[in-house]
Amino acid sequence: MEKYLIHSNEFHLIDKQKIHSAVKEMTETLGLAAGSTKGFDLYAVVKAYFTDIEKRKEINKLLKVEDKNEQLIEEELERLSSLSPLLLQ
């Protein structure tokens, strides 16, 4: 049986408990005392990244991770807005 893989446009479908378990496993693998302490919460960051597209965009922007699709959309919107005065004449 073929395993179904979740793609970037489906991250919100990942079960939140699976996200929590994966962060717990990562915390243990890295030998961290905890996944969340004062001012540090891997659980919240990873959960937000996978389940909230706006927060993912903010995180990506901070990390300078480019989303090629979003960049293409913005460029097309700019192009169309520059054409709009011509269309209104």
Over pLDDT 90: what percentage of the chain?
38
**pLDDT at residue 71 in the model:** 66
CA–CA distance, 80 with 38 (Å, rounded to integer): 47
Backbone angles phi, psi at 37, to 5 degrees: -145, -170
Q: What is the mean pLDDT of the chain?
A: 83
pLDDT in tens, 32-75: 999 998 888 999 999 999 899 889 889 988 998 887 766 666 66
Residue 24: exposure state from Cβ atoms within 10 A (0-12, 13-18, ≥19): middle
**pLDDT at residue 43 in the model:** 95
